[in-house]
Chains A and B, each alone.
Chain A
Amino acid sequence: MNDMAAPTREERAAKLKGLGCSRKRVEDVRFTQGKGNYVDDVKLPGMLHGDFVRSPYAHARVKSINTEAAMAVPGVLAVLTAKDLEPLSLHWMPTLAGDKQMVLADGKVLFQGQEVAFVVAENRYAAADGIAAVEVEYEELPVLTDPFEALQSDVVLREDLEAGADGAHGPRKHHNHIFLWEEGDEAATNQAIDSAEVVAEEMVYYHRTHPCPLETCGTVASMDKVNGKLTVWGTFQAPHVVRTVASLLSGIEEHNIRVISPDIGGGFGNKVGVYPGYVCAIVASIVTGKPVKWIENRMDNLMATAFARDYWMKGRISATKDGKITGLHCHVTADHGAFDACADPTKFPAGFFHICTGSYDIPVAYVGVDGVYTNKAPGGVAYRCSFRVTEAAYFIERMIEVLAIELGMDAAELRRINFIRKDQFPYQSALGWEYDSGDYHTAWDKALKAVGYDDLRKEQAERVEAFKRGETRKLLGIGLTHFTEIVGAGPVKNCDILGMGMFDSCEIRIHPTGSAIARLGTISQGQGHATTFAQILASEIGIPADSITIEEGDTDTAPYGLGTYGSRSTPVAGAATAMAGRKIRAKAQMIAAYLLEVHDDDLEWDVDRFVVKGAPERFKTMAEIAYASYNQAIPGVEPGLEAVSYYDPPNMTYPFGAYICVMEIDVDTGQHEIRQFYALDDCGTRINPMVIEGQVHGGLTESLAIAMGQEIAYDEIGNVKTGTFMDFFLPTAWETPNYTTDYTETPSPHHPIGAKGVGESPNVGGVPAFSNAVHDAFRAFGLRQSHMPHDQWRIWKTAQQLGLHG
């Protein structure tokens, strides 16, 4: 006798492992067995190795390059210099920010570690020997490492730029000036601030650091001279854009270029732009007709690839004496390094920094950003910054704290009375953004309750007294942050990368026996797309996620997309996935209607099947429909079952969160201990809770590093002081605390599945939380602002300056 009851709707949904399921990752199977395929794993017959001679000087003329000894090293085949690239017009290349940068030193070098010559050899050992044998004669020039000084100095860094001519973003007011970018109403803002009851002014510095993924950048370029086809494997967060750029630079048509991003060992924005290593490897391959691999060292990565931050943010914030904010003025001096290679959408040279009104209802505001050239590596936009949003959030969350000090108010309360209210969404900010949705008060109250905020303040007050009595040398800090960030770049009408609109795409094909393959224009670097995008589809089309293959990264097969950075995959490609899924379902409905001999409108969708309304025993599963699409001649319907969607988002999405960090600080040693870290994130619809939690843990740990010791530091003559892991702070498992993660769910009203994206939120919110904890610990002793990173000696210095070592 058959005891099997038909599965319930809940059981059928669970089997799909769709939205909301903590589905285990499909990627893990190969990674845990050491069977990932990263760029340095790529080996081709006859493959050569290339690597760079790099400048030890931050600013110098290159008087001569002697390659004779290098060419005599066994195994060395060629040494490329700017002179060799000039006939191909490749000695310089355009940057993503409308500037140009040297591929190889052309007459001078502008930062320590800059590429001077490219040695091509049979293997990496010979290449290293070749590099050591190249003789370069330099003539040192004065070095500019301070952007304020650079804007006054007679020293000209960019002699290639025409004096007095406009830059890519408008007029340049000095030879070391790049652009002035403005947003908001300066006159009205100054008026509000000048007439305010309370004003707080502060310089908030977000220091230079580096995204430092564990895998460095690299490429294998292979020119097939027989077929005229160039194949390039690489650490590319935007493979299609790289293909288009490679075509424009090389003159090879795009259909003859195949770019492959294989497994990538972390990106964090470090792998968005095009580096000289990629260009030189491609040139070397075209010239030799052999594959050429370039993999950089860690020092190269830290010294020469896209750094993050370096924003000097001068803020003025005004309020009533009851704490209601009336205006916000921000001027930024942005240190861009020697070339403006910021990976921003074209029209936004300061990214989305003008989200700096944050979670607060501020009636009038102004932002002005002056970009400056210095003798440092190019870059600036990277490290889970969502295009300068990390800087913006740090700025406003510090200004709130400084304002709270000025008002003599509790900083949690100051935030609450200024939050944008739930009923104000969609909210038009004073700096031009339309925030999609939010419920900040609920998140804030939940967070404060979870950590027992009032008790913490009591404990802190008692600790201050105990400290004054000499009973303890440890202070307690409570670091608050409520951040709103902006991701999902973005609407084509104003978001483009090198002219490519920032849409994204998904192409789905269902197989006859009911499984499927979907290809996206994005590329995971650890975010788990192969797992999570299948979940989106499973919920849309009723095929189990386990039966859906997700592919990314091969430009020969994947639909054009703008890649993965700025937490854009879920908002944009995730939307494209849902929309393509809905196209599949629309066609499936017609097929089901034919099979069931009813009208399309007589059917309704039920998890994994179309059911005849009012007759639940009459249905067709997606599997049956798929087979029929290959098997049946259906009038008016093409065979097969596939769909593609290119999604142009109507707006950005605005995830938000409430983070609280409780920290102990030893004033004598400068050491800190994180007692507790609570992170509440609202990313709208949650696709895979396990993956979200992992993203938050990772981002918070990057934030811990940034706030508490990590920096790219230079001395006065431009030497990098933190070029290895001895001094570039990456916490181990020992220095890292356990985090408590929590959430609320406020869907995005304009996104097909209401999802907002979450990957960068922990960096946006984490750094202010850690930094505010340090500041808060010293608040009772008079501290207003102390620049990051808060490493031991700087915390100690703060204590010393406040007289706590007496």
Chain B
Amino acid sequence: MIPAAFAYHRPSDVQSAVRVLQEHGDEARVLAGGHSLIPMMKLRMAELGHLVDLQDVAELKGVSVENGTVSIGAMTTQHELIASDDLNRAAPILREAALQIADPQVRYMGTVGGNVANGDPGNDMPGLMQCLDASYTLVGPDGSREVAARDFYEAAYMTAREDEEILTRITFAAPMGGYAYEKQKRKIGDYATAAAAVLLTKEGGSVASASIAMTNLSDVPVFSEAAAAALVGSDCDEAATTAAISAMLDDIEPTEDNRGPVDFKRHVAGVILARAIQRAWSRA
């Protein structure tokens, strides 16, 4: 219940924050909403000497939709994401997914940046961002760079972000067509037993393009190109959906836990993906 002691920093700009990370290396972590990090600190599963609170860094806030490009500051909370009508018009899948994350209080504090940067396989935003083909802006001592969400996740809690870099912004082209975020969980507040993010466009009655990503079925989010390819050119009938599921199942590697054994998770992953595809198709 009680974290170990640490030194607290509250910078007001990104560069100051980066400097603290540089100085203390892996002894320092940034604090966004705190609702992944602080619970771990309370269980003493994460012990750090320095915490860098980002709440006063203005550049990390703000959401914009301009010329079809969506830009979300890392410190945007799930609550702000859900409340933004601009975002909902540009990418309604965001609100649909965010409403299925945690509970109302956690959504008031939990940030999109924290959710994508943590590397926790249970978080929902990583898979979603891969589906959206989002790009993450990483700012470090040597400047800023862009890393595609699809290239960002290496293993559980291991990402392409260096220790002294801060993820500042998430950018993607506003998607067209149908969308769905489908998530099975044991109760509100739980991570996914299986979740699927699906985007697809329809042209002349067929699937013109598709994007599929799965969550909490591996130690990283799974962007399944093969599953999407199985849908393209089809009219999203049962055969195509079955093929997509089959392809997806080859890409995931779920492990047994309290949610259930591997065969259960694989079956549910298929069911969830099928439902997501159907819903996305109906909206395309």
Contact = CB atoms under 8 A, between A and B. Distances in A.
Contacts of B259: 792-793
A709 B268 CA distance: 17
Contacts of A128: 1-2
A669 interface: yes
Interface stretch (A220-228, A325-333, A722-730): A722-730
B186 A792 contact: yes
B260 A669 contact: no
A547 interface: no
Contacts of A125: 2
B44 interface: yes
B264 A796 contact: yes
Interface residues of A, number: 28
- The residue in B187, B263, B272 that gathers the most chain A C-beta atoms within 10 A of its C-beta is B187
B67 interface: no
A430 B261 CA distance: 44
A805 interface: yes
B38 to A, nearest CB: 15
A721 interface: yes
B51 interface: no
Interface string A781-806: 00000000001110011001000010
Given A792-B260, A793-B264, A797-B264, A729 B184 contact: no
Contacts, number: 62
A727 B267 contact: no
A267 to B, nearest CB: 22
B187 A735 contact: yes
A671 B183 CA distance: 12
B258 A722 contact: yes
B259 to A, nearest CB: 7
Contact of B260 (A721, A726, A734, A796): A796
What is the interface residue range for chain B against chain A? 20 to 34
Given A668-B267, A669-B271, A792 B258 contact: no
B1 A297 contact: yes
A206 B1 CA distance: 32
A731 interface: yes
Contacts of A721: 258
B188 A732 contact: yes
A792 B193 contact: yes
Binding site secondary structure of chain B: loop
A129 B4 contact: yes
Contacts of B261: 793, 797
B1 A734 contact: no
A132 B188 CA distance: 33
A722 B186 CA distance: 14
B146 interface: no
Contacts of A670: 260, 264, 268
A199 B56 CA distance: 73
A800 B103 CA distance: 32
A722 B259 CA distance: 11
B66 to A, nearest CB: 37
Interface in B18-36: none
B68 interface: no
Contacts of B258: 713, 721-722, 727
B190 interface: yes
B189 interface: yes
Contacts of B184: 669, 671, 792
Nearest to A805: B267
Interface of A is mostly: loop
A207 interface: no
A796 B263 CA distance: 10
A727 B186 CA distance: 9
A684 B261 CA distance: 47
B7 to A, nearest CB: 16
A244 to B, nearest CB: 32
Nearest to B185: A792
A39 to B, nearest CB: 16
A669 B268 CA distance: 6
Contacts of B193: 792
A293 interface: no
A796 B5 CA distance: 45
Nearest to B184: A669
A796 B267 contact: yes
A124 B2 contact: yes
A731 B187 contact: yes
Given A128-B1, A732-B103, A709 B264 contact: no
Interface in B27-84: 44
A729 B187 contact: yes
A297 B189 CA distance: 20
A670 B193 CA distance: 11
A713 B271 CA distance: 28
Given A709-B187, A792-B259, A797-B264, 15 more contacts: A124-B2, A128-B2, A129-B5, A668-B267, A669-B271, A670-B264, A671-B184, A709-B186, A727-B258, A732-B103, A732-B187, A732-B189, A791-B260, A792-B260, A797-B261
Interface of B: 1-2, 4-5, 44, 103, 184, 186-190, 193, 258-261, 263-264, 267-268, 271-272
11 contacts: A124-B2, A129-B2, A129-B4, A132-B4, A669-B272, A721-B258, A792-B186, A792-B259, A793-B264, A796-B268, A800-B263
